[in-house]
Structure 1
Amino acid sequence: MKIKYFEYITVYLSVFLVCVFVGIIGRLVLLEKGADEYTAGVFFWISTGFGILMFAILSLFLNDLAERLVNRFLKVKKNESPESQIPTEDLEKIEEQQQDVLIKPEIPENNNAVIDIQQLREERENAVRNQKQARIDNAICYAQQEFALYASDDDLKQLGRNIIIYAEGLNYEKIKPVKVKDLSNLDLYHFGWNIWNCFKVSRQDRAAQFLKLTFADALKDVEQNSIKTHLKDDEQKGLIKIMEDFTDL
């Protein structure tokens, strides 16, 4: 890049010196012919500037002409290249084959990839299903521990079935009431919040409805909205406490 700039400076400086030299010669000739200093000086600058201007115009014209000649020469060479000697029909076929390779990659003959994806999907679904079932089992175990002293065996089994209905989001018409003794409404509220917190499959108003239907006798005088607003009252009071996680029991 520096060599190219040096060449430009050399060329333009040479032209400038030549124009100045021509202007000086013209000025001396005018002075010998009897012209005054002012006229000779004006001629000097005009002749110098005219020479530089003519060189610039010729440079632009010659550069453009040279560029056209080079482009025309390259175009002729391109037309004579081996690719241009291929028939047009064959060339189109080659281009179509190349596009097919880019757009339509080869698909393996076996379906191992599809089988692997399906297998992964099934394994994932089984893992989710097993995880949900484990939560249901933990919730039933927790309920049996909490109500073992306050409900009969049949009621404990029914409570487990009611928990399954809630966790699976089934119709509440299948819920049957469970009778308990020696437990306050606060205990039942805490139990309901713990079950809701375990699954979080619905809003708390559905958990309140679950409590209202499951403990229909104990909560017969309490409105469902009231149950919802008192689920977490006095967290550490009562026989059943609020537990953030009972899966480790």
Structure 2
Amino acid sequence: MKQNSLLQYIVLYMIVACVALAIATLARVFTVSIGFDSFTAFMVFIVVLAIQVVVYLSIHVVLQNTMLPWIGEWLSKIPYFRKKIESRQVPMIAKETLLDAPEQPSLEDIRNKQLQNKTKEQRDRLNIALNYTRKSFALYLSNEHLDVLCRNLQAYINELDVKELQPVKIKELTAIDIRHFGWNIWNYSKPRNQMDIAHFLKIVFPDVFKETEVDSIKRHLKDDELKGAIKIQENID
């Protein structure tokens, strides 16, 4: 396409140059025929040639900047020419859109991104549960036992074996407080069977539930919602 356009320009300029030279030559011959010397005739040749170049460039600029846009706008109103113009523009627009389209990620990149998002979400949820636990037990557990409780909670949320759980010794809090804590954690980590959190409480707080069966812990998790230091919370965020 570019080579054809260049060739057309070359042919056009050659035709213009030949016509200009022919007119300038005729002017020189006419000057000699009426009795002027060769130098004067040559100067007439140069002046006529220069005038033609200036006139051609002026006409070209006027046509390019003024007449052609006006003619194009006028032709675009005619249905036949409008269809021709649109048929040429659509492939060019499609090509530019294709070139500008961003590179699509591979399936492996998508999987890795989704895995990173899932891992981050799980980590964020665990941190929320751990922060809630530290706030709830900061006054009632030693630093050592609070760390043990947080490790136990992490094992529960990650659904690890109950053999990973270790007991802690608590002071001042009652069975109601511990059951409320258990319900809040279960509710936050749903869907989970309430029996799982009941087993968790039985193992982690053996002194509190020494004489209480797991089924009983499960049945009474949400009893007396407004009593105790730790109350039922629908959302621990």
In the superposition, the TM-score normalised over structure 1's length comes to 0.52
Distance in 1, Cα, partners of 2:134 & 2:192: 23
Partner of 2:143: 153
Question: Of 120, 138, 154, which residue of structure 2 is paired with 1:164?
Answer: 154
How many residue pairs align between the two structures? 135
Distance in 1, Cα, partners of 2:216 & 2:129: 24
Distance in 1, Cα, partners of 2:191 & 2:160: 11
Deviation at 1:160, TM superposition (A): 0.4
- Are 1:133 and 2:91 an aligned pair? no
Deviation at 1:180, TM superposition (A): 0.7
Distance in 2, Cα, partners of 1:236 & 1:122: 45
Summarize deviations over 1:113-137 as a string: whole Å, max 9, x none: 6x52221121112111111111111
Q: Which of the pair has more CA radius of gyration?
A: 1
Question: Of 180, 184, 209, which residue of structure 1 is paired with 2:170?
Answer: 180
Residue aligned with 1:234, SS: coil
Summarize deviations over 1:61-88 as a string: whole Å, max 9, x none: xxxxxxxxxxxxxxxxxxxxxxxxxxxx
- Are 1:224 and 2:214 an aligned pair? yes
1:100-115 alignment runs, 5 A limit? none
Summarize deviations over 1:146-201 as a string: whole Å, max 9, x none: 11111100000000000010000000101000111111101000000111111125
Q: Which AA in structure 1 matches 2:140? A: Y
In the superposition, the TM-score normalised over structure 2's length comes to 0.55
Question: Of 220, 234, 237, which residue of structure 2 is paired with 1:244?
Answer: 234
Q: Any stretches of 5+ residues in structure 1 without a counterpart?
A: 1-111
- Percent identical among aligned pairs is 40
Residue aligned with 2:177, SS: helix
Partner of 1:207: 197
Distance in 2, Cα, partners of 1:208 & 1:224: 6
- Are 1:120 and 2:114 an aligned pair? no
Q: Any stretches of 5+ residues in structure 2 without a counterpart?
A: 1-102
Distance in 2, Cα, partners of 1:214 & 1:156: 11
In angstroms, what is the RMSD of aligned CA positions? 1.3
